[in-house]
Structure 1
Amino acid sequence: MNRPHYILLPVNPLFIMVSLVTAFLLNLLPWGHAVGVPDFVALVLIFWSVHQPRKVGIGIAFVMGLLMDVHDATLLGENALSYTLLSYFAIMIHRRVLWFRIPTQALHVLPLILMMQSVQLVIRVLVSGHFPGWLYFSESLTTAALWPVVTWILLAPQRRAVNRDDNRPL
């Protein structure tokens, strides 16, 4: 109960852009058709939509979705629609999520990612008529499991003190 509450520094917009580009580059890696590979772009979009909803919103999610559509060579707008809905619902619950500890936040992120994957699955089944199987949703579990790591990494630059003082705890 006596956890220290840090006053976070303002986030640098350049850092937000670098984190989104890094997540996009991680999605570009040749994972093949491995089961359970997390969607890094979705994870970073959820993080910034929850922590900075005024800086990262639906427009950025749409653009990132179009970029992923082009990369995956899927139906144009499939990822854009799912990322847009993902960002919208993450912004809707951002005040609630921030009240919880990190593991509980991951439990709030899991339904968002499952919803995103369900939208993608419905579009793929309607277009191709092929159901990929239930292991398709294992990506949601691995993505939600990475939430504590991503939170620690992306909040690290905001936790540093401007003027470091050994006598002051904050």
Structure 2
Amino acid sequence: MRLWRLRRAGGETAAATPAGLQRGQPHKQVLRPVSPVFIWVTLAAGLALDLLPWGRTPLVPDFLALALVFWNIHQPRRVGMAAAFLFGLLTDVHDGALFGEHALAYTLLSYGAISLHRRILWFPVLSQSLYVLPLLLVAQLASAAVRLWVGGASANWWVGLTESAVGALMWPLVNWILFAPQRRPISRDETRPI
């Protein structure tokens, strides 16, 4: 177990356990390392959920965007903007949208999540959804701006707004599901340090 050293006023050092080892705080748990296979399977599952024939139902969020935001926040070195761009191109091919529309939106989403990931991780899961909402809105606005710029018909703006709002409301559930394989079981062994 790694201990941190704190300097007191008299110059002596005292060992302190990190705040992440306290029980009862689900957003501050010691987690197992994430498998790269699990990361890519969840991104593929998000893409597969987006490929289902939902239509433009306003209460269905962009599952791939949620998975991208989650992994960009929690594993920014493993899932970057290149992955977001490639998944955006796959989404464009499936939707028959302007080639690069979703790629640009997902790349901007990924950039925002990576640049804010340290700040977002300071907050509990419910507060994190307040940061996720603007990220999802920016992705929706980028997609709508590309459609308007090329002269295409604009989709209803409220559909993108409700997709983003539902995605932000689903953020705690997404966190719980994607962290499930990493959580350590509650152990009754009191002699184990972690």
Q: CA deviation at 1:87?
A: 0.4
Counterparts of 2:93 and 2:182, CA distance in 1: 33
User: Is 1:144 the equivalent of 2:165?
Assistant: no
Q: CA deviation at 1:89?
A: 0.8
Counterparts of 2:106 and 2:66, CA distance in 1: 10
CA contact (8 A) 1:38 1:139 kept: yes
Which runs of 4 or more aligned residues in structure 1 lie more than 4 Å from their structure 2 counterparts after TM superposition? none
- For 1:135, the equivalent position in structure 2 comes to 158
Amino acid at match of 1:3: G
- For 2:110, the equivalent position in structure 1 comes to 87
Counterparts of 1:61 and 1:131, CA distance in 2: 23
Q: CA deviation at 1:129?
A: 4.3
Secondary structure at the residue paired with 2:99? coil
Equivalent positions of 1:69-148 (< 5 A) are: 69-136=92-159, 137-148=161-172
Q: Over residues 66-102 of structure 1, what are the superposed CA-to-partner deviations in whole Å (9 max), with x where a residue is unaligned?
A: 0000011001000001101110110000000011011
Identity percentage of aligned residues: 49
Q: Over residues 97-126 of structure 1, what are the superposed CA-to-partner deviations in whole Å (9 max), with x where a residue is unaligned?
A: 011011100000000000000000111112
Give unmatched runs, 5+ long, in structure 1: none
Q: Which has the higher strand share?
A: 2
- For 2:188, the equivalent position in structure 1 comes to 166
Could you state the TM-score of these two structures normalised by the residue count of structure 1? 0.92
Change in Cα spacing, 1:2 to 1:166, as seen in structure 2 (3 Å) is closer
Change in Cα spacing, 1:2 to 1:12, as seen in structure 2 (3 Å) is closer
CA contact (8 A) 1:36 1:140 kept: no
Q: CA deviation at 1:35?
A: 2.0
* Alignment coverage as a number of residue pairs: 168
- For 1:3, the equivalent position in structure 2 comes to 24
Which structure exhibits the higher relative contact order, with contacts defined as CA atoms closer than 8 Å and separated by 6 or more residues? 1
Could you state the TM-score of these two structures normalised by the residue count of structure 2? 0.81
Counterparts of 1:151 and 1:115, CA distance in 2: 21
**Rg larger in structure:** 2
Give unmatched runs, 5+ long, in structure 2: 1-21
Amino acid at match of 2:40: M
Q: Over residues 25-61 of structure 1, what are the superposed CA-to-partner deviations in whole Å (9 max), with x where a residue is unaligned?
A: 0001111232232000000000000000000001100
Counterparts of 1:33 and 1:165, CA distance in 2: 45
CA contact (8 A) 1:43 1:143 kept: yes
Compare 34-43 and 91-100 and name the one that shifted more: 34-43
Counterparts of 2:155 and 2:41, CA distance in 1: 33
CA contact (8 A) 2:91 2:102 kept: yes
Counterparts of 1:29 and 1:41, CA distance in 2: 12
The RMSD of aligned alpha carbons is: 1.8
